[in-house]
Amino acid sequence: MRELYRKAQDISAKLKAGADFSQMAATYSEGPGAKQGGDLGQFTVDHLEAGLKSVVEALPEGGTSDPLVRPNGIQNH
């Protein structure tokens, strides 16, 4: 898990330095929407679990979060 978290931190640093989110998702993601550059379609934050909802709501438009350890893996938003 530590190696995976370090990889997520490296990806997060690249995103904060201006790397394209969709390109990074297509390259590194193993989640749904990976082949679509991380696009999960449209939904409202009300459909998210409370902990994730609070992280997403705090992000500025176009911003990304630090890696989040979740039950189904490590995510950046």
pLDDT digits (tens, 9 = 90+) for 13-65: 999 999 999 999 999 998 888 999 988 888 888 988 888 899 999 999 888 88
Three-class secondary structure of residue 48 per DSSP: coil
d(CA 19, CA 24): 7
Element (DSSP H or E) covering residue 47: none
Three-class secondary structure of residue 44 per DSSP: coil
Q: What is the pLDDT of residue 23?
A: 94
Domains of the chain, residue spans? 2-63
Q: What CATH number should be reported for the domain whose range is 2-63? A: 3.10.50.40
**Which pTM does this prediction carry?**
0.75
The b-or-e profile of 14-23 (16+ CB within 10 A means b, else e) is: bbeeeeebee
